[in-house]
Structure 1
Amino acid sequence: MTITLTNPIVKLPRLTGRGWGRRIMMGGRLSDIKRMPRYIATALLGMTLIWAPLLGYLKTAPLSYRSTTSLILPGSGASASMNLNGIGQASSYANSAFASNAVSPTETYKRLLGADRILDAAADALDLTRAEIGAPRIRLVDQTSLIHVEMSGGSPVDAQAKGDALLRAFFAELDALREDEVNTREDSGLLAIDDFRSSVAETRRQITQLQIESELMSVAQYDRLVDRHLKLETLILDRRAGLSELRASLHALEAQLGLNATGAAATLKLFADSGYLAIIDEEARHEVALSDANARYGSQHPKVQEARKARDSAAEIALRLAMSVTGLDGTTLAALDLAPDGARAALLSELVLKQVELSASETELLTLNTQFEEGQAQIDRLAGAASDLQDLERDFSVAEAVFASAIARSETGKSDVYASYPLVQVLENPSLPDRPSSPNRKLAYLAGIAATMMLFFGLSLGWVRLALINKLLKKPDAQA
């Protein structure tokens, strides 16, 4: 490209002090080779200022190695369950660490990795100072749960050792934080458990005191007393009905026989005595002899009188024996049935048996009534105590359930150690670098080359600045 200078403004006058200033600002002609030494000197000076510090830094800067570590936080939650015999099941569930948008566990762990006490613990493990171990470079990967940690050292082994020490200090601090959280929760839970235990003990004491005072061991015992009382009442009603039936049967049999049970018993007793039966037989023979004598002789005949006397003597002996055997007087004995043979003897026996059953039933009913009255009095006396005992047992059950639930929550809470500080795993152990990370020679050389190119570009612009200025100055005239 050829540039023709036609504007008289660009003609160089004689170089005075003012001319030199204008020459520096405006430059010279493109064909003015005399300017070349100044540009070469400027280029050499600029390159010296660029490359001398750069090469000096590359030669004197100490080598630095960088060890990288990757951590990952699993995204799933944690759950724990415990079966308690006779009580139920206790369970706990911790949501995923990433379930809430308000708290980011990766940001929390990033801050924890760079905390002063973590770095101090890592430095103490390596017998270094805080300044010697340096600060880790922590980088979070977006949309993931990854944490990249970099530690620098003067050698590959040194960098890897710093990374290992940082990880050990980090996990030790995590364990300490989790243990402190569990202990804090346990301490607060123990206070509540002590209150629940005191409530259970107080309720148990009240139950024991009520049992001693009322002699009622449980509500079930009172229920059994009530059930037995109701059954006894039903039994009494049945016995009363049976007794009424037995009395009616006995009265009917007495009316049929014309004899009461006492007479029937005496009759049976008499005719069960062999001596009495023998006398009766003898009396019967004398009666026959008397009848025969009356048929043959007159009433005053000696044989008739002898036979009558023998009969009366036998009858008197029989009466005395009957009175001795039965304990009855003569008048009562005269009303007895003295012909108990055959079916009538069976009826007399049945009458006596029914009388015995009636007496037994009356005695049994009297005993049952006594037991019923005693049971009713006992139930009335224990009704209030049973009600109070039921209330206390219900309160005891509730207090015991709350107490057991508090213990279960306390125990399951111990297993939920990742609730506030989620589980973190080492995805990649601290690496052993195979090349230094600093100084970066390639980057330094590229920077030097770029600076050199910019220097030459600036000098090129300085060489043609007069032509560019004249061209810019001509544009307004041309437009006008």
Structure 2
Amino acid sequence: MPSSSESLVTIKNKKTSRNQLLWRWLRYLLVGAICNGAVWGLALSYLKKTPLTFTSDSVIHVAGGSPGVSVNLPSIGQANTSSGTSFGAHSDPRENYKLMMTSETVLETAAQSLDIPKSEFGQPNVELINNTTLLKIEIGAKSPEVAEDKVWALYQAFYKRLNVLRSQEQEERDRAVQQALEDTRVKLTEAQNKLSDYKLESGFNSSDQIKDLIGNIGNLQNQLIEETAKYRQVNDSLQQLSTTLDLSPQKAADALVLQTDRVFQQLLSEYTEATTLLTNLLPSRGPNYPDVIEARRERQAALKALLARGQELLGIPIEQLSLERLNLDNSNGSGVKRGDLFVQLVTMNAELEGLDGQIKTLKEQLNNLEAELNILTKKETIHDNLDRDLQIAQAVFASTLTKIDLSKGDPFASFPMIQIIEEPTLPEEPSAPKPKLVMAGAFIGSLFVSAGLTLLWWREPLLKISKQIVKKAIE
């Protein structure tokens, strides 16, 4: 049996254990109460001291790219403006707009419009709605009206900033293309001056001159063909008549000259009478008969005078045989006088000479026109080159000018147009603080505190059990 001293010790140890256990309970309860009280106190304090916040929101639509424009300039060129914006296939203009809405410049402008400091205006929440072209804007304030005014102020400040950026972009574009436009204008002026100077210097104005010249050459060629045909026809007739008369056209002309001279005709009549008389006397008288000698003398005197007069008229000596061939009093079997045939022969010869002169003139004109055509063709080549340079300069200038005008009509290329889909709302209930959410958080916090204290409570028994398990395993 244990002694009384041992019993006392055991009783004392049990009292000590009870006291330690009680103290431990009190300590854990106190810590648990303090921690839970702190959690709930902070939650209640937050609900009590945090001012109410009302959030107004709005939805904005970002328009897509504007349709492209194509302008055709007849005989000059074409100007195009591509559709879409300056953003790539994987870029979204809403990201830019989101950054702009939260930028210091836009927030400062919005705050100034409400006459409040920027710090009081707050930071808006901009959200991109997936698979759409929409932006959602949220701004909080102490009252519903102020929240709604902030959204309107933010939208107006953002819209104002967009207009400023669009104006600046347009000014930069205008300055950038102004030099290019000036260069094209200078080139156009130079091309115009070169063409004008060449026209003034060369006398060549257009291809119509060559067309007219070719037409004239064609007409002259047709005339030449016609006149050549006439010349051949008249020449054939002349040769046939000349062969028939056995007389050249010049001899026929001489005969006509002699026929028209009265003195020559008088002398010819005397010569003819003397010849007739001599012819009649010779058969009945001898050659030495005085009448025959006298007739022969008169005939010789008349012939001499006749030949002298013919040489005087024609300028060339003539013979007795020629006088017989130049006799115009004979007629052919058809009753046509020889003189008429002489006249016809002379007339045909004159016509032939006229046709020959006309043919020579036509050939000379053709040669001159063909030489002029060669010159004009060379001038046309130079003219066409200068005119082509002028057309190119006109096309470039007109295209550049048209593109500038078209770009002025599309201010939304880099900054697409925006539209309000849902106007700023007037909130009916505060968005913060949210009592249910705060209470739920405090409750979860209490659970974590209780769970932690429970784990601490069971720490010592668990350690003893683990030591015993280890000790048994060693033994």
TM-score of the superposed pair, with normalisation by structure 1 = 0.70
Query: How far 1:338 sits from its partner (Å)?
Result: 4.2
Q: Secondary structure at the match of 2:79?
A: strand
Match status 1:87 vs 2:76: yes
Aligned residue number for residue 276 of structure 1: none
Measured after TM superposition, the shift of residue 339 of structure 1 is 6.5
Partners of 1:442 and 1:172 in 2: CA distance: 41
Match of residue 389, structure 1, among 372, 383, 393:
383
Q: CA deviation at 1:348?
A: 7.4
Q: 1:439 matched to which residue of 2? A: 433
| Residue 195 (str. 1) matches residue 183 (str. 2) | yes
Mapped to 2, the partners of 1:456 and 1:122 lie a distance apart of 49
Structure 1 residue 35: Cα displacement? 5.5
Instruction: Please provide the CA RMSD for this pair.
Output: 4.4
Separation in structure 1 between the aligned mates of residue 325 and residue 43 of structure 2, nearest angstrom: 161
Which aligned pairs between 1:270-281 and structure 2 lie closer than 5 A?
Answer: none
Q: Deviations over 1:412-437 (max 9, x none)?
A: 33344443334444343322222111
Q: 1:413 to 1:155 in 2, by over 3 A?
A: same
Offset of 1:255 from its aligned partner? Answer: 2.7
Aligned-residue offset at 1:439: 1.3
Number of aligned residues = 414
1:372 Cα shift?
A: 2.9
Q: Is contact 2:77–2:395 with CA below 8 Å preserved after alignment?
A: no
Q: What does residue 326 of structure 2 align with?
A: 335
| 8 Å CA contact retained: 1:67, 1:150 | yes
Deviation at 1:54, TM superposition (A): 2.4
Q: Secondary structure at the match of 2:82?
A: strand
The 8 Å contact of residues 65 and 413 in structure 2, kept in 1 or not, is answered as no
Change (3 A) 1:464 1:367: same
In the alignment, the residues of structure 1 paired with residue 203 and residue 402 of structure 2 have an alpha-carbon distance, to the nearest angstrom, of 35
Query: Equivalent residues in 2 for 1:254-269 (5 A)?
Result: 254-257=242-245
SS of 2:68's partner is strand
Q: Does 1:55 align with 2:55?
A: no
Equivalences for 1:208-357 in 2 at 5 Å? 208-222=196-210, 224-226=212-214, 228-229=216-217, 232-233=220-221, 235-236=223-224, 238-257=226-245, 335=326, 337-338=328-329, 344=336, 354-355=348-349, 357=351
- Asked if structure 2 preserves the Cα contact closer than 8 Å seen for 1:64 and 1:153, the reply is yes
Range 155-164 or range 216-225, more displaced = 216-225
Find the counterpart in structure 2 of residue 428 from structure 1.
Answer: 422
Larger mean Cα displacement after TM superposition, 128-137 or 213-222: 213-222
Structure 2 equivalent of residue 171 of structure 1: 159
Distance 1:367 1:200 in 2: 47
Match of 2:105 in 1: 117
Instruction: Mark the runs of 5 or more structure 1 residues left unpaired by the alignment.
Output: 1-10, 272-282, 284-293, 295-326
- How many angstroms apart in 2 are the aligned matches of 1:475 and 1:238? 143
Choose from 448, 468, 475 the match for 2:469.
Answer: 475
Unaligned runs of 5+ in 2: 1-11, 260-268, 270-279, 281-312
CA distance in structure 1 between the aligned counterparts of 2:414 and 2:327, rounded to whole angstroms:
107
Q: Secondary structure at the match of 2:465?
A: helix
8 A contact 2:140–2:147 mirrored in 1: yes
Cα shift at 1:375: 2.7
Q: Alpha carbons of 1:189 and 1:246: their partners in 2 closer, same or farther (altered >3 Å)? A: farther
- 1:57 aligned partner, one-letter code: Y
Matched, 1:140 2:134: no
User: Is 2:104 the counterpart of 1:107?
Assistant: no
Query: d(CA) in 1 for partners of 2:430 and 2:113?
Result: 24
* Distance 1:61-1:367 versus aligned 2 partners, 3 A rule: same
Could you tell me which amino acid in structure 1 is paired with residue 326 of structure 2? A
TM-score (norm 2): 0.71
* 1:197 partner SS: helix
Cα pair 2:151 2:424 within 8 Å, conserved: yes
What is aligned with 2:443?
449
Separation (CA, whole Å) in 2 of partners of 1:475 and 1:434: 64
The answer (yes or no) to whether the contact 1:78–1:418 under 8 Å persists in 2 is no
Taking a change above 3 Å as real, the CA distance of residues 337 and 107 of structure 1, as seen in their structure-2 partners, is same
Which amino acid counterpart does residue 447 of structure 1 have in structure 2? G
Q: Shift in Å at residue 110 of structure 1?
A: 1.7
Cα distance, 1:115 vs structure 2: 1.5
Counterpart residue identity of residue 64, structure 1: T
Pair 12,204 (structure 1): closer, same or farther in 2 beyond 3 Å: farther
SS of 1:86's partner is: coil
Moved more, 109-118 or 222-231: 222-231
Question: More deviation in 227-236 or 112-121?
Answer: 227-236
55, 60, 78: which one aligns with 1:71: 60
